[in-house]
Amino acid sequence: MNQIWQMTASEIASAVRSKKMSATEVAIAHLERLDDVNPKINAVVQDCREDALQAAKRVDEAVARGEDPGVLCGVPVTIKVNVDQKGHATTNGLRLLKHQVAQHDSPVVSNIRKAGGVIVGRTNTPAFSLRWFTKNNLHGQTLNPHNRDITPGGSSGGAAAAVAAGICALGHGTDIAGSIRYPAYACGLHGLRPSLGRVPAYNASAADRYIGAQLMAVSGPIARSISDIAISLTAMAAHDARDPWYMPVSLAQQDFPKRAALTAAPDGMHVAEDIRAALAAAADTLRAAGWTVDEIECPPMRPAAEINAHLWMAETQFGAKGLIREEADPEAQFVFKQMSKDAGDIGLDGLMVALQARAGLVREWALFLRDYPIVVCPVSGELPFDQQLDVQSEADFAEVLEAQLTQRALPAIGVPSLSVATGSIRGRPVGVQLIAPHYREDILLAAGLDIEAAGEPIQVAEPNWD
């Protein structure tokens, strides 16, 4: 019989709602799992156990009264340390912010609570949430519970490692250049980057972000099943008036043609043969499930990745350059230097041109996705990287940057995308990425379910090294 911490979020919510187990029992089991494995992987860096037990008690009391606490009824969840959670520091992996204690929950945290979620801890991120690896001078390094020698991804590496290790059933992540999709991929999980405006965002502990992050940064879920992605999106996407970008678009929409485009190497990016094989297998799975899949080039990704770099680096150079210097995290400084070199100097003219070019790309992608509601493409051009590869040398950073082309491109367009785990190769997880039209996360979930059904259920990882 499986341990409670091996259950999916959907299984837990159903069991608690039907009184087969209590939310308190579930919370205790996951907190014990946290105590057992977190010292090995350092995924959770802020403990919320007292709050978790109180929240679980409230769920149990609601169930006892005959009420439905919500779609996340008693489900253990973690929150990334770059969003506000009342009573906890929104550190973003920075020593400079270790005393920046939030006075209010961010919308996504509020929504998780309202849906019956039980927050058991807060998860690690690289300094400034700036890397596809997870390490900082405040909280330390997070390890991948599948293999300590490979990255857990970033910047939501703590979230993915916690879900993979059974510390929680759902992990909250954020994504401006792959920070949900890549950690999910690296840890053998599913991860959804929703459309811009789907999940409300706001941190009262800091000033509003500049235009780059407003257009590209989103919150979303990391989980061990597609059904868990679906219920967590339902919870996270509830309305909150504090986000001016929020779009009240229904998650349940009209029928769609089961037609997909397979683009194995967008814009000629290098893609390892193992990943090409995973993409071909996913395409065959979709065909067997009734989809028409055409091998065809998708709209451009490189110009979108360049726009991402311009918008993100313009924001960082203008608003965070001093903080990066003051924080004195050598790896963050190295990465910032390389990313700035890639983007070039971003003045007002460059920012305006990038925003102008973005409109044309959004249009081109919208027209393509009207004909092909799903695009199947790589999450990354390589299997999960060795730990700390990006800071080994400038050449290594350049290789990492190239492999992450799809991670960087899609946020600039604003479309939703889903990283779907498909197994492992030589001890490293592998998966594929799905892209859908704006606000059509339902199509992603439908295709993701078909791919998931053809494989084996994701199992909790055991970090069993000494």
Per-residue confidence (pLDDT) for residue 41, from 0 to 100: 98
d(CA 170, CA 62): 21
d(CA 415, CA 194): 7
Q: Is residue 19 situated within a structural domain?
A: yes
Name beta bridge partners: 429.
Answer: 424
What does the CA dihedral 257, 262, 266, 268 come to, rounded to 10 degrees? -150
Q: Is residue 350 situated within a structural domain?
A: yes
* 40 phi-psi bin (left φ>0, alpha ψ -120 to 50, beta other): alpha
d(CA 189, CA 88): 27
Phi, psi dihedrals of residue 136, rounded to the nearest 5°: -155, 170
Positive or negative, the CA dihedral 179, 185, 187, 192 is: positive
d(CA 13, CA 266): 39
| pLDDT one digit per residue (tens) for the chain, 466 residues | 589 999 999 999 999 999 999 999 999 999 999 999 999 999 999 999 999 999 999 999 999 999 999 999 999 999 999 999 999 999 999 999 999 999 999 999 999 999 999 999 999 999 999 999 999 999 999 999 999 999 999 999 999 999 999 999 999 999 999 999 999 999 999 999 999 999 999 999 999 999 999 999 999 999 999 999 999 999 999 999 999 999 999 998 889 999 999 999 999 999 999 999 999 999 999 999 999 999 999 999 999 999 999 998 887 777 777 899 999 999 999 999 999 888 888 888 889 999 999 999 999 999 999 999 999 999 999 999 999 999 999 999 999 999 999 999 999 999 999 999 999 999 999 999 999 999 999 999 999 999 999 999 999 999 998 7
CA-based nearest residue to 90, from 165, 153, 172, 31? 172
Task: Give the DSSP letter of residue 101.
Answer: B
Q: Are 172 and 80 in contact (CB under 8 A)?
A: yes
CATH number for 332: 3.90.1300.10
Q: Is residue 464 situated within a structural domain?
A: no
Phi, psi dihedrals of residue 172, rounded to the nearest 5°: -80, 135
Contacts of 14 (CB under 8 A, 6+ apart): none
Catalytic one of 10, 106, 110, 179:
179
What are the structure tokens assigned to 454, written together? 């053809």
Q: How many domains does the chain have?
A: 1
What does the CA dihedral 280, 286, 291, 294 come to, rounded to 10 degrees? -10
Domain that holds residue 344: 9-453
pTM: predicted TM-score of the whole model, two decimal places: 0.98
d(CA 190, CA 224): 6
Q: Is residue 462 situated within a structural domain?
A: no
Per-residue confidence (pLDDT) for residue 43, from 0 to 100: 99
What are the structure tokens assigned to 172, written together? 């909250």
Residue appearing with tokens 């494995």: 37
Q: Is residue 461 situated within a structural domain?
A: no
User: Please, how many CA atoms are within 13 Å of residue 87, restricted to the half-sphere of its CB?
Assistant: 10
Q: Which amino acid is at 87?
A: G
d(CA 170, CA 9): 7
d(CA 186, CA 383): 8
Residue appearing with tokens 């040398």: 393
Task: Give the DSSP letter of residue 423.
Answer: E
Alpha-carbon Rg for the chain in angstroms: 20
DSSP of 6-64 = GS-HHHHHHHHHTTSS-HHHHHHHHHHHHHHHHHHH--EEEE-HHHHHHHHHHHHHHHH
Q: Are 108 and 101 in contact (CB under 8 A)?
A: no
Q: Is residue 147 situated within a structural domain?
A: yes
Q: Is residue 460 situated within a structural domain?
A: no
Per-residue confidence (pLDDT) for residue 393, from 0 to 100: 98
d(CA 271, CA 264): 8
Catalytic one of 10, 22, 155, 205:
155
Catalytic one of 10, 22, 80, 227:
80
d(CA 26, CA 53): 10
Active site residue 80: yes
Active site residue 179: yes
Q: Is residue 235 situated within a structural domain?
A: yes
Q: Are 296 and 94 in contact (CB under 8 A)?
A: no
What are the structure tokens assigned to 138, written together? 């405040």
d(CA 75, CA 296): 40
